[in-house]
Structure formats: structure tokens, C-alpha cells
Chains A and B, each alone.
Chain A
Amino acid sequence: MKMEPVTAHKGRFRRGKPPRLGRADRSPLGRWFWEIDLVLLALVTVLIGIGLIAVAAASPAAGVRYSDGAVVFPPLYYFYRQCLWLAIGIPVMFVVSMLPKEMARRLSLLGAAVFIVALAATPIIGHQVNGAKRWIGVGMAQIQPSEFLKPLYVVALAWLLSLKQHDRTLPVVPISLVGTAVIAGILMKQPDFGQTIMFLLMWTALLTLSGAPMKGLAALAGLGVAAVVSAYLFYSVARLRIDNFLFQSGDTYQVDSARRTLMHGGLFGTGPGAGTMKFKLPEPHTDYIFSVIGEEFGLIACLAIALIYVAIIVRVFVKLLDEEDSFILLAAAGLATQFGAQAIINMAVNLQLAPSKGMTLPFISYGGSSMVALSMGFGLLLAFTRRNPYLTRSPYVVTWNKPR
């Protein structure tokens, strides 16, 4: 019997190979596509798309704000820069998400060590911007080590806490406390209050997830309240911020203009490029980009963005319910928490539910370091949630004899 020529199956087979990204595609890309959480990938793609539109909307306002007699920024300067950062960030996310879990863990631990050193060096060799030393490096290659440290720290902490699974006698909590305190101390020296809060929050979240006793957590919460109260009483900067937030005393220009911008568009927005209040906003492309979206695309768009963040968190957490490896569990949940908490804090600041902090909206705000760092963090999250979809699926949801 004569064999049918391969060319007859044009379209279904590519020169004898199985179709790309199909189940039979054994190439690394094919396997990656099979194992990756496609829902998560789709959500983050949508978020990046929204982010580009939002930065394009905020870019003229930021350009006008930062232009002066000597330097004039073109209206879309920040948009093009953001495209550049994405051109770096997306490959980073892609490559990181392809790493085998073991290697991802080892590289994260190595990275965490490197960036703690970099962070410690920042007050010495860093650049001062707006009264704080947060950046190191030269020219285009300036980075903010704290941004990169965040996801790596989460993975390292997850690894540390998961060691308890193997040896209950290890003093993992005190060790993690010391590490976190060192990082917080360096950050407060910059000073960077927002990031310090973020790291403490991550630590608390991971302790909670790892199954720390409720008594200890309650004590921690009490300590937190006490810390805030004592900061209010003895730390003038904190008192100013809190007074500012609670009683609208002092200089409320930032929050006032953010509120005006957010409300100016109403439910449906003024339309792309039609916003006017955004020009009065400080940091329209980073901290207050949510307000710019509110003005130009309406509060419904803001609600939709909040829902996308929720969807990402819920997707990761629900998926982790049938995960048995405690390191993967803690690392993925921690990364998702870091991602979600940052988004929530940013939105809360924009809505005057929280005092102002320098926190970017993940994948939407403009920013080089934060974009690449977030891409790396999300790449790690994708790597840790990657697995064979049929392998440990609950038997109740499996439908046999039905093509995927």
C-alpha cells in the first residue's frame, strides 16, 4: 500500500511535524504553552494592553509637568519609553516563566542575595531623587533595587518557610524576621516608607499562609497597630502624612487634584485624550495613573481594572488549592499577594482610602525598574503555576472523551 504524501495534510501538519502549540508539539515552546496557565497569561496580557493605553493617556500630562525651559518632553515621550520597557519586560517574563521550577527557585535565592547587597549599597552609591536615595546605576541602566528585591524576597521567604515542612526544629520564623528587619532598616534609611510597609506586609502574609498560629498573628497585628500609633506620636513625617489623610489638614494638593481628576470623567469618562484635570496632577503617569484612567475612560473602566486584579488573585489562589508542594504554594501565593497588594494600595491611595505612598499600579503605571521587576515577578508566578493540566486534576471536573 502506498503511503499518502505528507504534503496532502498541508495546514494540519507542518512538513511532517505536528501542529504548533498542539498537544503533540514536543518543542520547548509547545510544552511551555501546554503547561502554562493560559487564563493567567490572558489576564496579564489584557492588563499590559490597558497599561499601554493608560500611559498614552497620561503621557502628555506628565510631559507638560516635567517640561521646563531647558527640556521639553514630547507629548508621547512616556508612552514610547513605556513601549521600550515593555520590549525588555515581556521577554524577561517569557524567559523566566520557562524556567524549570528548581532553577527558578535557585536563581531567585541568588538574585535575592545580590539585590540585598545592592539595596544595602544604595544609600552609599545611589542617586538622590526627590530627597531620597533609591536608585543605583548610570544613564539608562538605572535601577531601583527594592523593586527587584520584592518578588525575589517573596520566593526566598517562601523557600525558608517551606523548610519547616522538612524539619520542624528549624527556627525559620526568627531567621525570616531578622532578614526582613534588615531590609526594612535599609529601606527606612533611603527613606522609603511605602516599600517598607510592603515588605512587612509580605512577611506577615507569608507567615499567615504558612500556617503560623493565630495567637502569634494576633500579637503581630497588635504590634502593627502599636507601631502605627507610636510612629504617629514620635515620627513627624508619619504624623504629617496621617494627619493629612485623616483630617485633610496641611497640603492636600496631591489628593485633592487626584480626586478631582478621578471624578471629572464621571461614569463613562471624558474620552481618550479629552481629559483636562490630569494636567494638574502630580505624577499622572505613575502613582496617579488610576485617576487619569478614571477621568478619560470613566469609573466603569476603573471598576473593570480592579476586577482584573481580583481575577488574577482568585485564579492563582484557587489553582493552588490542589497544589501539594508547600514551597510552590507559598511562593505562588506570596507573589500573587505582592502583586495584588501593590495594586490595591495604589487604587486605595487614588480613592483616598489610604494615605499617599509611592506605589505603582502593576503593569499599568509607567516605570522602567518597576515594569521589568514586575515582569520578572509575574514570570516567576507563571513558572510556579506551570504544570500538566491533567496530572493532578480533581476527578470530579474531568470530562473524558471530550477534546480539550
Chain B
Amino acid sequence: MTGLVARPDRVRLAGQRQQSLALVHFRLMVVMLLFLGVVGVIALRLLYVSIFVGGGASTPAGDGLLPARGDIVDRNGVPLATTIQAWSIGLHPRQLVNDAMEVSEKLAQLMPEHSAAQYFAMLHSNKSFIYLRRRATPELVAQVNAIGEPALALAQEPERLYPQTTLAAHVLGWTDIDGRGVFGMEKVLNNRLLDPAKRGQPVALSIDTRVQAALEEELSAAKDKFTAAAGSALVMDVHTGEVIAMVSLPTFNPNDPGATGIDSLRNNVTQSVYELGSTFKAITLANAIDSGVVTSMAKKYDATAPLQIGRFKIHDEEPAGRWLDIPEMFTKSSNIVTARIADELGQSRETAMFKKLGFGAPPEIELTAKAKPLWPTYWGRTTVMTVGFGHGIAVTPLNLAISYAALVNGGTYHPATLIKRGPDNPVPTGHRVISEATSARIRQLLRLVVLPAADGTGKKADVPGFRLGGKTGTAEKAQGGGYNKKLNVSTFAGVFPMDDPKYMIMMTLDGPHATADTYGWTTAAWVVGPAIGRTISRIGPLLGVIPDVSHDVDESDLLPLLWHPGIAKPKLTGAAAAAHDKD
């Protein structure tokens, strides 16, 4: 009986059911409001974040994305040095699981730089970690991974990459295994490139990769043709001191500097000092004009016979056998006349000018590896004379480039820089070296050396329309305390366009050897002059110098001073012409 009777609890009245349903509906709305509230908080947080914490730019964001080391780019933003995540393959010998023989054979197959026996020795060495390869290709990493040996560690590490390989190698330098710059601009800019606040922004150098490539190619072609030991070349803005291109040969690959001999790592533009010969005549002449020693371009000096001073005899390569005026002695590059002018100047005025041009110290540039010019230890009368035409004093090519820029830009000295000029690196005021008037005269004279009509020593470098002016210089190579009579250091230092000087260009070949088409000559006129001409015709348009044959330096007062013996000069050919064109 009781089994049929429902327990009172189980009985649900319609009213109760309705009541509990109402409660459920009420709770439904409560939960919904809870949801709305939480989503409201999320929406408020989103708004708060977007309004108060700010957008992307102002957050200290990025440092997860910042490169481990800042990039270096050229003046137009072309990457020169960048940091990539590269694969490294390492070895933890203590974690070896598989058969060592088998693993070492597979490793030797994939990475043949070591033999299987060497790998076997590594696997049994007591070291905790050995690098097998850095900057490995992904394919190789995949193959090494496929060996399936836990002791082989594959990791991605920041690596410095120089995508242009050898281009501007000496300017850039390289970094050590820990990513610190040890040479070149990598060393100079080390702190700037590692600074977390700045390393997101690349550093722009003053280098223009296009000009750099052209200069490297032409210098390297000349160096190979004349089998020279070394070479250096430079293009520099004469008004700002910015180095547009800087080449030192032999070169190296900064991606793997260890693979090259130590000699190739030296930057000949700043670390090597040379006696740069007749290129110094422009400095001596500028000094003489500025200090009133030479008052007229028509003033004549005796060059009839070699100059005998005590035990020393100064002679010209091609004796003129007559008195020469200033344009004549400069275009013919007369040592005798320069010595006479230097003698008149005297030691104090000569050294004062050298000091003003920065020859008293290593060239002013950011690079840390640079040499100090070598000065004569004893200044006798002959020293003053020989130094006047660049013998007995050794400077770096960059020293000379800076001084030429000062001579032609209106007479103001500016230090050289490898960092692009801008608000962060403004052009310093500099100091006056010579007067505007003297600078204008030097421009005339330098142009005259190259001007074909004047038949000077630099005419082989002339490119129609580019108004190049410059001076050749050939000196015997200093070797073991004396001079090597057979080897020259041949230099051309020039500026273009000379009617409105913009860029200084120079090339130096150290120890060139003559070829058949130079008729035995290794003087600057023969070995560097043509290379300068080719380079200018390539880089001039890149630098915005438009060839224009209708403009030139006004030489109307100097050309009549050049005396050409015989109106109908016979056209010289072959070796005779070669003899005529020596330095």
C-alpha cells in the first residue's frame, strides 16, 4: 500500500514549478549581467590601453625585435653590415648517445673540413661544448639534425653579415665572436650599435656603395695590370670632408677576416705612410703664393742644371735646360724649381703649413687604426728643399687627401669623416689654411696639369667635360732605411670639377711594374692617370657632376706663359712620347 503512495517531497505543485522557473530565469539574467560586466571591463581595458598606454610608437616596444647589433648602411641606405639569425652547429661531447664512430663518419661526410678521425676525437674530448660550424646553411642543419644525435646542438645565434662581402671592407672592419667591433667602423661605432635606445636605427656612413664599387674595381684593375703590391684610393667631398669611397688593396672579406693574411687587413689609406712625391709641390707652391714668396706667375727660376747643395744633387727627370716660370715648372713637375722655392720659404714656414694641413698627427677621421706621418728627424737646407717636393716626409694617403681638399675648397681645412654629415654630425667650422685667392690660383694650376692643351704630366687622366685638375706624384719606394730605385709609389691626387670643386679623388699604387704599353714607365702619369680618368667617367654622373665641355677653369692668364718650343711640334709616338710624358 505504502509503495503506491508518493513521497510528499516528490509532489510538485504547478505553482512551485512556476516559482522555480522564475528563479532560473532570474538567475539567467544575473549570469548574463555578470557576463556583460566582465566584457565591459575588457572593453574598458582595451580603451584604456589604446588611450593611455598609447599606440605602437610611444611604447618601449620593439626591444624584442631590436637587432642584437644595429645595422650599418651607406649614405643612401644600402645595407653594409647587418645582424642575422644564423644557424650554428655545436657539439656536447658528454651527451653522446649513438655510436661515436658512426656519428663522426656522418659528420665528416656532411662537413668535410675535419676528417672522421678528428670528429671522433672531438666526440671523445673532455670539453663540454665545441662549435662545429657557425653560419651553417639550413640544408646542412637539416642534414645534421637527421643524424639524430642528441649531442649535436643546433641553435640560432645572431651573426654579423656583410652582404656586400669585400666592398668597403676596411671601412667597415669586423666583429669578434662575441659581436663586439674590433676594427674599422664596427669598432668606432661599437657602443652606438649596441645601445638599446639607438640600435633600432641604422648608422649611415658617408660611403656611397656605387662610387665605392667603381673605385674598387678600377684600382684593382690597375693594381692587377701593373702587378703592384698594394694600392689605396679615396673619393672625398672637399666641402664637408665626407669620405665617399675608401679603398685599400689587397682586401679581405669581413664575413671571414681570419681567412686572409694580416697584410690584407691593414687599411693602406690610413695605416700606411708613403713619400707621396710631387703631389707635395702643390702644397709648397700654395704656401709660397700665400706667403708672398712667389708674387707673379711669370716669375722664372733657373732649371738649366741640377741643383748642387753640399753632397746632394737635385735633378729633374727630364731636364728643361732653361729657366721655367710657375705654370711651366708645375706642369713639367720640376724638382729643381720646387727646391729653389722651398729654399726661399724656409723651414719654419714649410713646417707651419704642414702642421696647418694636419701632417703633424694621424689623419683626422673616426677610424682608430691610423698612422702618424713620418717627419725628417734632421732639418738641413737640403731637407727643406726635398721635403718641398715630397721626398723625405711620409704621410698617409688620407693626410694628403685632406690637404688637397683644403687647398681647393677656398682654403679651409675640414677633418675627414666616415659618418654621413647631417644634424648629428655637422660640418665643423674648420680653420683657414690659405687665402681664397691662393686657393683659386691653385685650382688654375692643378687644372693646367691635366688640361690637354697645356701638355702637362696629368693629361692622361683628363676626361672631356669633367674638368679634372690634379697632380701626379712618383717617389721611389722607401725600403729598409734606403730607397728601392726600381720600385715606385705612384700617386695621382685630383679634384673635379675644378671650376666648382666638389670631389677630391686620389689613387696610389705601391710598387707597380711596367707593362709593354707603358714603355717601361711606372710613373703616376702612366699607371694611375688612366685609371683616374676611367673612374671619373664612371663616378662623376653618380655624384651629380654633369660632363660639360663648355665650362672650364679660366686659364687665360696662365696658358700664354707656357712656352712650347717650335710652333709645329712633331707628333711624338711610341717610346719617344713615353719619355716625354714621364713624371
Q: Given A70-B142, A344-B39, A264 and B46 touching (CB < 8 A)? A: no
Q: Is A333 in contact with chain B by the CB < 8 A criterion?
A: yes
Q: Is the CB of B49 within 8 A of A276?
A: no
Scoring A70, A313, A347 by chain B CB atoms within 10 A of each residue's CB, the highest score goes to A70
Q: Is A40 in contact with chain B by the CB < 8 A criterion?
A: no
Contacts of B31 in A (CB 8 A): 205, 208-209, 317, 333, 337
Cβ contact of B55, chosen from A266, A324, A340, cutoff 8 A:
A266
Which residue on chain A has the smallest CB distance to residue B59?
A: A263
Q: Given A168-B9, A267-B55, A329 and B32 touching (CB < 8 A)? A: no
Q: Is B543 in contact with chain A by the CB < 8 A criterion?
A: no
Q: Is the CB of A306 within 8 A of B49?
A: no
Q: Is the CB of B28 within 8 A of A344?
A: no
Dominant SS among interface residues on chain B: helix
Q: Given A209-B27, A324-B21, A279 and B46 touching (CB < 8 A)? A: no
Which residue on chain A has the smallest CB distance to residue B54?
A: A263
Interface string of B497-521 (1 = CB under 8 A from A): 0000000000000000000000000
Interface string of A227-267 (1 = CB under 8 A from B): 00000000000000000000000000000110010111111
Q: Is B17 in contact with chain A by the CB < 8 A criterion?
A: yes
Q: Is B299 in contact with chain A by the CB < 8 A criterion?
A: no
**In the complex, what's the smallest C-beta–C-beta distance from B25 to chain A, in angstroms?**
6
Q: Is A186 in contact with chain B by the CB < 8 A criterion?
A: no
Q: Is the CB of B64 within 8 A of A321?
A: no
Q: Is the CB of B25 within 8 A of A321?
A: yes
Q: Is the CB of B56 within 8 A of A299?
A: no
Cβ contact of A265, chosen from B9, B23, B56, cutoff 8 A:
B56
Within the assembled complex, what's the spacing in Å between the Cα atoms of A185 and B284? 96
Q: Is B305 in contact with chain A by the CB < 8 A criterion?
A: no
Contacts of A276 in B (CB 8 A): 65
Q: Is A309 in contact with chain B by the CB < 8 A criterion?
A: yes
Cβ contact of A317, chosen from B28, B38, B64, cutoff 8 A:
B28
**In the complex, what's the smallest C-beta–C-beta distance from A293 to chain B, in angstroms?**
11
- List A252-298 residues whose CB lies under 8 Å from chain B: 256-257, 260, 262-267, 270, 276-277, 279-280
Which residue on chain B has the smallest CB distance to residue A340?
A: B35
Q: Is B43 in contact with chain A by the CB < 8 A criterion?
A: yes
Within the assembled complex, what's the spacing in Å between the Cα atoms of A166 and B6? 12
Q: Is A169 in contact with chain B by the CB < 8 A criterion?
A: yes
Scoring B28, B36, B41 by chain A CB atoms within 10 A of each residue's CB, the highest score goes to B28
**In the complex, what's the smallest C-beta–C-beta distance from A270 to chain B, in angstroms?**
7
**In the complex, what's the smallest C-beta–C-beta distance from B71 to chain A, in angstroms?**
16
Interface string of B22-48 (1 = CB under 8 A from A): 011101111110011011011101110
Interface string of B219-245 (1 = CB under 8 A from A): 000000000000000000000000000
Count the A residues whose beta carbon is within 8 Å of the partner chain — how many? 53
Q: Is the CB of A317 within 8 A of B29?
A: yes
- List A168-215 residues whose CB lies under 8 Å from chain B: 168-169, 205, 208-211
Q: Is A351 in contact with chain B by the CB < 8 A criterion?
A: yes
Cβ contact of A333, chosen from B28, B55, B65, B142, cutoff 8 A:
B28
Q: Is the CB of B56 within 8 A of A264?
A: yes
Within the assembled complex, what's the spacing in Å between the Cα atoms of A315 and B117? 73
Interface string of B480-502 (1 = CB under 8 A from A): 00000000000000000000000
Cβ contact of B24, chosen from A211, A262, A264, A299, cutoff 8 A:
A211
Q: Is the CB of B61 within 8 A of A277?
A: yes
Contacts of B30 in A (CB 8 A): 208
Interface string of A305-338 (1 = CB under 8 A from B): 0110110011001101100101001100100010
Q: Is the CB of B141 within 8 A of A69?
A: yes
Q: Is the CB of B35 within 8 A of A310?
A: yes
Within the assembled complex, what's the spacing in Å between the Cα atoms of A167 and B11? 8
Which residue on chain A has the smallest CB distance to residue B36?
A: A310
Q: Given A69-B138, A266-B56, A333-B31, A303 and B9 touching (CB < 8 A)? A: no
Q: Is the CB of B12 within 8 A of A165?
A: yes
Q: Is the CB of A165 within 8 A of B39?
A: no
Q: Is B205 in contact with chain A by the CB < 8 A criterion?
A: no
Within the assembled complex, what's the spacing in Å between the Cα atoms of A324 and B25? 9
Q: Is B10 in contact with chain A by the CB < 8 A criterion?
A: yes
Within the assembled complex, what's the spacing in Å between the Cα atoms of A165 and B19? 12
Q: Is B567 in contact with chain A by the CB < 8 A criterion?
A: no
Q: Is the CB of A169 within 8 A of B9?
A: yes
Within the assembled complex, what's the spacing in Å between the Cα atoms of A262 and B45? 12
Q: Is the CB of B45 within 8 A of A303?
A: no
Cβ contact of B39, chosen from A265, A266, A309, cutoff 8 A:
A309
What are 27 A-B contacts with C-beta separation under 8 Å?
Answer: A68-B141, A68-B154, A69-B87, A69-B141, A72-B138, A167-B10, A168-B9, A209-B28, A211-B20, A262-B49, A263-B49, A263-B53, A266-B50, A266-B55, A266-B56, A267-B50, A277-B61, A277-B64, A277-B65, A302-B46, A309-B39, A314-B35, A317-B32, A326-B20, A329-B24, A344-B39, A347-B42
B residues with CB within 8 A of A = 7, 9-10, 12, 17, 20-21, 23-25, 27-32, 35-36, 38-39, 41-43, 45-47, 49-50, 53-56, 59, 61-62, 64-65, 87, 138, 141-142, 144-146, 154
Nearest first, the 10 A-B pairs at minimum CB distance are A69-B141, A266-B55, A70-B145, A280-B64, A264-B56, A317-B32, A211-B23, A299-B50, A260-B61, A169-B9
Instruction: Other than A70-B145, A70-B146, give 14 A-B pairs with Cβ distance below 8 A.
Output: A69-B154, A168-B10, A205-B31, A260-B62, A265-B55, A267-B55, A276-B65, A303-B43, A306-B42, A307-B39, A317-B28, A321-B29, A326-B21, A348-B42
